[in-house]
Amino acid sequence: METLSLGFGVALPWVLGIAALYAFGWPRGETHGVAIALRVGFGYFVGAVLLTLWMRALSVLGVAFGWISIALPLTAVTAGLCVYAARSQRLSLNDAKNAVASLWNPALPRWQRFVWIALVAWLAVRFALLAAEVAWRPLYPWDAWVQWATKARVWYELGRIVPFVRADEWLAGAPGAYFDASPNYPATIPLLQVWTCVALGHWDDSAMNWPWLAMLVSLTLALYGALRGEGVAPLVALFGAYFVASLPLLDVHVALAGYADLPMGAVYTLAALATYRWCVRRDARDGAVALFLALACPLIKAPGWVWALTLLPGVVIVLMPRRGLRILGIGAALAVVVLLVLARTEPLVLGYRLHLNFAPAWGQLVKSYFLMGNWNLLWYGFVVVVVVGARRLLEPPLAPLTAITAAGLAFLLFVFAFTDAGVWLADLTTANRATLHLAPLLVALGVLTWHRLMLSSPPPPVAAAEPRAA
């Protein structure tokens, strides 16, 4: 019974998000297999955000969290969306069956089919092993139980969201308030854990972390669908998705679930890919999905506002195709100059002393990215792709995604070089967690750049026919 309850708890936001995307008619213009991969991949994160928004509304209305208040209305909404999608001929069971069948019997040459099946099987094994870790291991990571699970436990027991404040405010007697290490962190992650425990029927600090495995599976499917939607060959797209699913640090965040870095990275990556789809197609539905996920970024972690803003350079390039790159380049150069000036001076502006400390620990960063096992071959491959495909990165259609990725890298470098976060490079932990937000997008850009390089490569020469004997 507990297994069924837990399965329902994980499935509800997933099915809700898929149904919402079907009813919305997103994506348009894709084959059934690609569309299903995108809907299933994006669907979990869309549904998770909708679920937690509903829980926020319940708390505002004074309705206690429970099966009836959460599951019943959302199940009814999901059913209604499915009926609407079916009547508008956007939902077809035959298409779903064909897409599932193509997992094990793809329309590929024989040797490619063998490699495909091997990769799918290996992904299934990897997901199964991670599922065992989630099932067997109690809540373990430090920040998970001093910053996130504290809120989940309190909100689960009280059946509503109550405020968390700083320790000094709590000691001063703030009424009805609680405190933990990070009282101002967003509520989305704890609410997902609360819902899982509500579905299960009791508090369980291990079972509440099953959503992290669903996030990895969803991210893998979404990346595959996004790559296929841009014309990448099926096997190459599967390799790209597999590479993301096999990133060591990403898998650690599933096995040691409870941090917000995996959901932050996944939501940001999907927001960037949806923005890129809009940049290429100018479809309003792509723009709506991109905007929804971009606005969801700050609901996951506080820096989500900055990650959402890094999507704007891609939009600028599309809206200003002739001058966009030049404007962004000039803006980046001016920003570097301003940062360097503030690092060398202490100007007084409106009574505020502006100064930045420039103390990057580049050696530690290089060690983390290139000499340790956190990222597999990600950074080596990305450097090669940038060097070999530099021209393609600055040309349509890749230029918008390149601008987004460059903005994300610039944000990371700014944090590591000009803020107090630079001290985090000493133990490598927080720096790697912050990099996880950008890593899946680096893989997507790398695969798409390789795809453009292959398209522009000249075909192999055709051997001249030998003259026939008279």
Q: What pLDDT is recorded for position 424?
A: 66
3-state helix/strand/coil string of 217-284: HHHHHHHHHHHHHCCCCHHHHHHHHHHHHCCHHHHHHHHCCCCCHHHHHHHHHHHHHHHHHHHHHCCH
Q: What is the pLDDT along the chain (470 residues), one digit of tens a residue?
A: 788 999 999 999 999 999 999 999 999 888 878 999 999 999 999 999 999 999 999 999 999 999 999 999 999 999 999 999 888 767 666 766 766 666 777 778 888 989 999 999 999 999 999 999 999 988 888 889 899 999 999 999 999 999 998 888 888 877 888 989 889 999 999 999 999 999 999 999 999 999 999 999 999 999 999 999 999 999 999 999 999 999 999 999 999 999 999 999 999 999 999 999 999 999 999 999 999 999 999 999 999 999 999 999 999 999 888 777 778 888 778 877 776 776 666 655 444 445 566 666 777 888 889 988 889 999 999 999 999 999 999 888 999 999 999 999 999 888 877 766 666 666 677 788 889 999 999 999 999 999 999 886 655 554 444 444 43
**Identity at 280, one-letter amino acid code:** V
Annotated domain spans of the chain: 313-455
Q: Is the dihedral of CA 44, 50, 56, 61 positive or negative?
A: negative
Q: What pLDDT is recorded for position 23?
A: 93
Q: What pLDDT is recorded for position 465?
A: 41
The answer to whether the CB of 18 falls within 8 A of the CB of 48 is no
Which pair of structure tokens corresponds to residue 272? 């960037």
Name the burial class of residue 269, with classes exposed (0-12), middle (13-18) and buried (19+) by CB atoms within 10 angstroms of its CB: buried
pTM: 0.92
Q: How far is CA 5 from the centre of its chain?
A: 26
Q: What pLDDT is recorded for position 466?
A: 43
Using omega within 30 degrees of 0 as the cis cutoff, is the peptide bond preceding 347 cis?
A: no
The answer to whether the CB of 272 falls within 8 A of the CB of 308 is no
Q: What pLDDT is recorded for position 271?
A: 98
Q: What pLDDT is recorded for position 359?
A: 66
User: What is the Cα–Cα distance from 136 to 122, expressed in whole angstroms?
Assistant: 21
Write phi, then psi, for 348 (nearest 5 degrees). -105, 115
The answer to whether the CB of 340 falls within 8 A of the CB of 297 is no
Which pair of structure tokens corresponds to residue 51? 């679920």
